[in-house]
């Protein structure tokens, strides 16, 4: 006989475990099925351990620029094994924390792989053997995604890496090629370059960080190039030849074929949803391009079956998955949550410099404004005009805001520079609560802080900029 619950969640990543905890808080008898590590890819092989690595690269960069602050250090070196070990330790600590939270909230955690086996039923297996059968009127699928593999560029764990291998190098490669310039690719490119490797990035589209505002992408490209990263846009890998010493890659670029020799290649060309072997087809759940199709509440169209996180549509971000989990559960519990507003989801890239954004790019905002017969106002403020940025030794950056010219609605905000991933939430709050440019202009920002640039960008959009 199946164990009965009010809700069963399949997948313990940032969407799944948050959904399970919120359900328990609302009085639902909840089970969570997870086959690997609690916390999912984000906590164990993504967001968290990569930030630990990037912190090490920031320290390495700072140590090589100590003379700017009046310090001198000789014989700077690092131990790659210790750098990686610290990253893994951080991930393990937080994974144990998730386990503790689930236990505290009385969520039943079941070790194994869950599969829809019948209506309102999840069959759980471990190492090919049945573990449990769970019954619930509501089932949330949160099985996440994995790295996309391109033909001819399949990861082998040796010369060609995915993000997993790139996070645990046994030694620092002298050179590497990063294929793909989204957030994941750029973060790894930044980490390895700051740690001393020669880095080349190849991107199929006409600019790096293609989902970001064009002006921010161009600013980032200039900064990365100055750091020594070689960027090839409108380019692709035409062929690979492995050897005992590395890989020879043939790049098809606008200037013709180029051959480069590198020790390692990192493939960062997107993700595919983990839709296989979880019973979707038999249950009648619709799949589109490896991702489950859902409505604004996470409903799949099959009664009692829901999906959230990287398993469903973009943007594929941990904080989006967590929010989807809460909305989905509160809807199930009969609450009245607001549906997810994709335009209010912030995106962050933790490279050096950092990039952060929310809402529409300037180009998208202008296109939409033209359709409705309206206009936009754009404000900008450079890091070079901010006292705190200069004092920190971080004078390169830009804050950009886009408003509806008539209503003052904040349509988008785009930032590049030191700590922008910590600043973007100010604009997210403003956008979520429909704060206008006029209201932001009347807000008092503390001095001296980086956040003052957020204010100055708004004032610039209104033609009221004071500094510079």
Q: Which residues are catalytic?
A: 447
Q: Directed axis angle between helix 47-63 and helix 80-104, to 10°?
A: 140
Helices (H) and strands (E) in the chain — how many of each?
15, 26
Q: What is the Cα–Cα distance from 314 to 247, expressed in whole angstroms?
A: 33
DSSP for 239-281, written as a single string? EEEE-SS-EEEEEEETTEEEEEEESEEEE---EEE--TTSSHH
114: number of CA atoms within 13 Å, CB side?
27
The pair of structure tokens assigned to 222 is 């200039």
**In the 3-class helix/strand/coil scheme, how is 7-40 assigned residue by residue?**
EEEECCCCCHHHHHHHHHHCCCCEEEEECCCCCH
Produce one character per residue of 70-101: b if its CB has 16 or more CB atoms within 10 Å, e if not.
eeeeeeeeeeeeebbeebeebbeebbeebbeb
- Who contacts 377 (Cβ-Cβ below 8 Å, separation ≥6)? 402, 403, 404, 405, 437, 461, 462
Q: What is the Cα–Cα distance from 366 to 200, expressed in whole angstroms?
A: 33
DSSP for 93-160, written as a single string? HHHHHHHHHHHHTTPEEEESEEEEEETTEEEEEETTEEEEEEE-SEEEE---EEE---TT----SSSE
* Nearest partner of 346 among 454, 431, 403, 428, judged by Cα: 428
The H or E element spanning position 320 is helix 318-332
């Amino acid at each position: 006989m199946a164990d009965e619950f009010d809700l069963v969640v399949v997948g313990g990543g940032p969407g799944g475990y948050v959904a399970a905890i919120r359900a328990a808080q609302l009085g639902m008898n909840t089970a969570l099925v997870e086959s690997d590590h609690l916390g999912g890819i984000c906590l164990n092989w993504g967001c968290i351990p990569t930030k630990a690595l990037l912190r090490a690269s920031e320290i390495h960069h700072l140590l090589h620029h100590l003379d700017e602050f009046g310090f001198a250090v000789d014989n700077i070196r690092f131990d790659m094994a210790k750098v990686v070990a610290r990253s893994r330790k951080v991930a393990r600590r937080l994974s144990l924390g998730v386990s503790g939270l689930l236990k505290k909230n009385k969520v039943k955690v079941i070790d194994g792989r869950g599969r829809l086996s019948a209506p309102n039923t999840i069959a759980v297996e471990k190492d090919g053997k049945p573990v449990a059968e769970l019954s619930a009127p509501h089932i949330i699928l949160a099985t996440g995604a994995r790295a996309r593999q391109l033909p001819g560029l399949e990861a082998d764990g040796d010369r060609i890496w995915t993000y997993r291998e790139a996070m645990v190098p046994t030694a620092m490669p002298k050179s590497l090629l990063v294929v793909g310039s989204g957030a994941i690719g750029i973060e790894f490119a930044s980490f390895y370059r700051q740690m001393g490797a020669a880095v080349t990035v190849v991107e199929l589209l006409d600019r790096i960080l293609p989902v970001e505002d064009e002006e921010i992408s161009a600013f980032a490209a200039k900064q990365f190039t100055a750091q020594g990263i070689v960027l090839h846009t409108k380019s692709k890998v035409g062929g690979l030849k492995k050897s005992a010493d590395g890989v020879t890659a043939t790049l098809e670029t606008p200037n013709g074929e180029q051959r480069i020799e590198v020790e390692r290649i990192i493939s960062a060309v997107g993700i595919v949803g983990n839709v296989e072997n979880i019973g979707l087809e038999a249950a009648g759940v619709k799949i589109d391009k490896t991702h489950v199709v859902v409505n604004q509440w996470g409903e799949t169209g099959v009664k009692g079956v829901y999906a959230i996180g990287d398993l469903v549509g973009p943007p594929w971000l941990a904080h989006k998955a967590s929010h989807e989990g809460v909305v989905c559960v509160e809807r199930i519990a009969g609450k009245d949550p607001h549906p997810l507003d994709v335009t209010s989801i912030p995106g962050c890239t933790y490279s050096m410099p950092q990039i952060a954004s929310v809402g529409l790019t300037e180009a998208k905002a202008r296109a939409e404004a033209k359709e409705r017969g309206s206009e936009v106002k754009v404000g900008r403020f450079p890091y070079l005009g901010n006292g705190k940025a200069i004092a920190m030794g971080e004078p390169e950056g830009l804050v950009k805001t886009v408003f509806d010219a008539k209503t003052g609605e904040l349509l988008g905000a785009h930032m590049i520079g030191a700590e922008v991933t910590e600043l973007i939430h100010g604009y997210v709050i403003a956008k979520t609560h429909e704060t206008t440019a006029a209201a932001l202009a009347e807000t008092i920002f503390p001095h001296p802080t980086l956040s003052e640039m957020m204010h100055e960008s708004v004032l610039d959009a209104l033609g009221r900029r004071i500094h510079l």
